[in-house]
Structure 1
Amino acid sequence: MESLGGPEIVAKQGIEEPEDDGIRTEPPIATAPSVSSRDDSEVPKELRIAAAYSWRLIILAAALVCVVYMLGRLSHVVIPLAIALLLSALLSPPVRFLRNRAKFPPSLAAGVVLVAGLLAVIGTLTLVVTQIVDKFDELAKNAAEGAEQVRDWLQDGPLNLDTEQIDNGINTATGWLTDNQDRFVSTAQSTATATIEALAAFFLVLFSTFFFMRDGDKIWRFLVRIFPKQAEEQVHDAGIAAWATLGAYVRATVLVAFIDALGIGIGLYFLDVSLYIPLAALVFLFAFVPIIGATLSGVIAVLVTLVEQGPLPALIALIIVIAVQQLEGHVLQPLIMGRAVAIHPLAVIVGIAAGVILAGITGALVAVPIIAVLNTAVRFLVLKRREAPPDSVVVASEAPS
C-alpha cells in the first residue's frame, strides 16, 4: 500500500508530481495507535501502561509530600483552622435558624451562637476544675492508700517480692526522675512560650469560627472559582455534600459522646465514686478521639474507682465501661451516624495513626473528619462522572436499531 501522497493519489487529484531531486525519504514507521515511535511499540502494552501509571503516581506522591510538608510548617495556622471548621459545622444549624427564622443579621446570628457555645464550654470546664479541686485532698489520700495496697499485694501476692526489691524499684524510678530533671525544667521554662502560642491559637479559632459561620458560603464560592469553568458546578456540589457530611459527623459525635459520658457517669455515681462528674466530662472530651479516646477515658475511670473504692467496685466499673462502649460501637454509631458518614474501620485506624504521626493528638482528632469529607466528595464526583449526559440519551433513542 502506497503512503499518503504517493503517485497514485497525486495523479487522481490532478496535481503535478515534483521532480525527483535524488533524495530518498523513508516511509513513515507503522506503530501502535497508543505510541509515537517504533521503540515504544517494541515495549509490551502492559509494561507501557504500568509505566504510565507509575510516573503519574510518583508525581502525585511528590505533590502530596509537598502538601504535607507545608501543612507541617504551617501547623500553628492549619490546626486552629481545622478546629474552627469542626466548630462551624457543629454550630451552623442554630446560625441558619437565627438567620432564616428569627431574621437575625448574619453577624448577629454568628456572634450570638459563638458566645453561647463559648459560655457552655467555659461553664463545663469550670465545673470540672472545681470538682477536681474540691476532691483533690480526698483523691490524694485514696491514692496513697491504694499505693500501700499495691505494695502489700507485691509482698504477699503471687510475686512474693521482699521489701528490698520494692525499695530498689522505687529508687530506680526516683533516680530516673532526677537524671531527667533538666528535661522537665526546660519544659517548664518553655511554658510561657507555649501559653502565648495557645492563646494565639485560641483567638484564631474564635475569629475563624465566627467568619466561617457568617461568610462560609461566600468563602466557598470564592474558592470554587479557582477550578476550571467546566468543573465549578461539580466541585461546588461536591463541597456542599462534603460539608453536610462533616456537620452530620460532628453532631453525631457530640451526641454519642454525651450518651457515653451520661452512662458511665451514672454508673460511677452508683458506685459512690466522688469524681463521677469530672470523669464523665473526661469521657465526653475523649470520645472525640475515635477508638483510642474511649479506651483511655475508660481506663482512667476504672483506675480512679480502684483507688477510691477497691477491686470489686473497679471490676464493676470496668464492666460498665465495656457495656457502654459496646452499646456505642454496635448500636449508637450505626444508628446515629448513618450511612452518610460510614467509614471502614481500617480506614479509621490508619487515618488516626497517620494523624498522630503528623500532628499528635490534634491529628487524631481531625483525621476521621477529613477522611469522611474526602470520602463523600470523591464518591460524589465519581457518581457525577458516571452519569450519562442528557444529550447521549437523546442520541441513543434516535439511533437506528
Structure 2
Amino acid sequence: MRTGPSAAPYDRQMLFGRTPDQARPPGRPDPATPRGVATPRGDATPLGDALPRGMRIAGAWSWRIVVIAAAAAIGIWLVMQFSLIVIPVLVAALLTALLQPLVDVLVRHRWPRGLAVAVAIVGLIVLVSGLGWLVVSQMRSEYPELQARAVAFWGDAQGWLLSLPFGITQEDVNEFGTNILGTLRDDISSVLSSALTVGSSVGHFLAGMLLAIFALIFILADGRGIWRWVVGLLPRPARRPTDGAGRAGWVTLGNFVRVQVVVAAIDAIGIGLGAFILGLFHEGGMPLVLPIAILVFLGSFIPIIGAVATGAIAVLVALIALGPIPAVIMVGIVLLVQQVESHILQPIIMGTAVKVHPLAVVVAVAAGSTIGGIAGALFAVPTVAFLNVFVKTIASGSWRTNPDPSVQEVVR
C-alpha cells in the first residue's frame, strides 16, 4: 500500500467512494478557489425542489386520486362480473341488519341463538308469503267483478270511438281488435324462443334466493365471528381502526333498512288511501285497494321498476273499473306520492337516518342506477352511508374511545 501525504486523497476516495468535491458540505466553497471569485452552483438541486410548492402538492394528490379511482373501477368491475354471488350476499346483509335487533332481543330473553335466528327468518318468510297470498286471494275473489267491468269498459270505448268525427266504423274497430290478437299470436313464437333465456334467468333467481337465505342464516348466527375473522386478515395496526369503523357503519346500515321500511309503508298508505277515497265517489268503489297497497309496499324496495309497475297497476285498475277520468286522477295520486317520496322522504328522512346529505343521496341513486341498474340503485345509498361513516370514524379517531357505538351516537 502506498504511504505518505500523496496517498491520502486516493485512499479516502477508495474507502468511502467519494471525491473531495462530493465530500465537501453543501455551500462551502472550494479552498483552492480564490476568495471573491464566484463559482458555478451546478445542478445539485433535485427537480422536485425546483417546482412550486402548490404544484408539488397537486401532483401528490393527483396520483393518489388516480390510484383510488382505478381501484374503485376495478372493484366495481369485479362486483359486476360476480353479481350472481355478490347481490345475494348484499341482500342477506340488508336483511341481517333488519332482523338483528329481533334476534338480539330474543337472545337477551335467554333464547338459544339458533332458535332466535330460525324464528326471525321463518317469521320474515311467513310475513312476505302472507302478503303475497293476501294479494292473490283478493284478486281471485274480485276477478269476476273486474272482468265484468272490463267488458263494460270495452263496450263504452267502442261507442266512444264510433262517436268520433273521423268516420270510424264498427268494421274498423273489429279490425283493430283482430290486428291486436294477430300481433299477440305472432309474438308467441318469439316468446317461446326466449323460454330458455327466461328459464336461465329464473334458475339464476332461485339460486340467488337460496344463496341469500343461507348467507342470512350464517350471518345472523355468527356474524360477529365472521367479522372478527375478516378483521384478522388485516395487518395488526389496522385491525382496531377497521373494527371500530366497521361497527359504526353497520349501525348506520341497520338504521337505513328500518327507515326504508317506514318509507315503503308511507308509499303504500298514500296510494292505497288515495285509491280508496277515489272509489268513494263512484258506484261500487275502487276494487283491489288492499292488494294495490301491498304491491306498492313490496315494490318500494325495488327502485325505479317497483314504483312504476305498481303505479301502472293502480292506474289500470282505475281505468277499467271507474273510467278514464278517475284513471287520470289516479295517475295524479301516484305521481304525487312518488314525488313526495323522491323529493321529501328519501332526501330528508333517509338522508338524516344515514347521515348523508340529501344531494349525495340523489346523486348516489342516480350513479348506482347508471352503473348497476336496479341492483345499483338498491345498494347505492346504503353503500355510500356505510363508507361515509367508516371513513369519518377512522379520520376522527373515535374508534379509540368508542369501539362499539349506538345508533344515537352514529347519527347525531
Offset of residue 190 of structure 1: 2.6
**Structure-2 separation of matches of 1:332 and 1:296:** 20
Query: How much does 1:40 deviate?
Result: 2.5
- The match for 1:79 is 87
1:25 correspondence with 2:21: yes
Give the equivalent residue in structure 2 for 1:194. 201
* Equivalent runs, 1:198-237 vs 2, <5 Å: 198-237=205-244
Matched residue of 2:90: which SS? helix
Output the CA distance in 2 between the equivalents of 1:67 and 1:248.
26
Please list, as runs of the form range in 1=range in 2, the aligned pairs for 1:248-287 lying within 5 A after superposition: 248-270=255-277, 271=279, 272-287=285-300
Asked whether 1:375 is paired with 2:385, we answer: no
Give deviations 1:246-294, integer Å, cap 9, x for gaps.
1111112112212321332233234122121221112101222457754
CA change 1:62–1:337 in 2 (3 A) is: closer
Native 8 Å contact 2:351 2:361 kept in 1: no
- Number of the residue aligned with 2:30: none
Find the residue that maps to 2:194 and give its secondary structure: helix
How far did residue 57 of structure 1 move?
1.9
Matched-pair contact (CA < 8 Å) for 2:253–2:386 = yes
Equivalent AA in structure 1 for residue 65 of structure 2: L
1:69 aligns with 2:77: yes
Shift of 1:363: 2.5
Say what the alpha-carbon RMSD is for the aligned residues: 3.8
Residues 241 and 394, structure 2, Cα contact 8 Å, conserved in 1: yes
Q: What percent identity do the matched residue pairs reach?
A: 39
1:52 is aligned, of 54, 60, 64, to 60
User: Helix, strand or coil for the counterpart of 1:233?
Assistant: helix
1:365 to 375, 378, 387: 378
Counterpart amino acid of residue 245 in structure 1: T
Which ranges in structure 1 are unaligned for 5 or more consecutive residues?
1-16, 31-35, 389-401
Output aligned runs, 1:119-198, within 5 Å.
119-136=126-143, 138-139=145-146, 142-143=149-150, 146=153, 183-198=190-205
Report the CA distance between 1:99 and its aligned residue.
0.3
Measure the CA separation in 2 of the matches of 1:291 and 1:219: 33
User: Aligned letter for 2:87?
Assistant: I
Alpha-carbon shift at residue 73 of structure 1 (Å) = 1.6
1:246 matched residue in structure 2: 253
Please, what TM-score do these two structures have when normalized by structure 1? 0.76
Please report how far the alpha carbon of residue 229 of structure 1 lies from its aligned counterpart in structure 2 after TM superposition: 2.3
- Using structure 2 for the length normalisation, give the TM-score: 0.74
How many residues of Structure 1 are paired with residues of Structure 2 in the alignment? 365
Gap runs ≥5 in structure 2: 1-6, 14-18, 28-43, 280-284, 402-412
Deviation at 1:364, TM superposition (A): 2.0
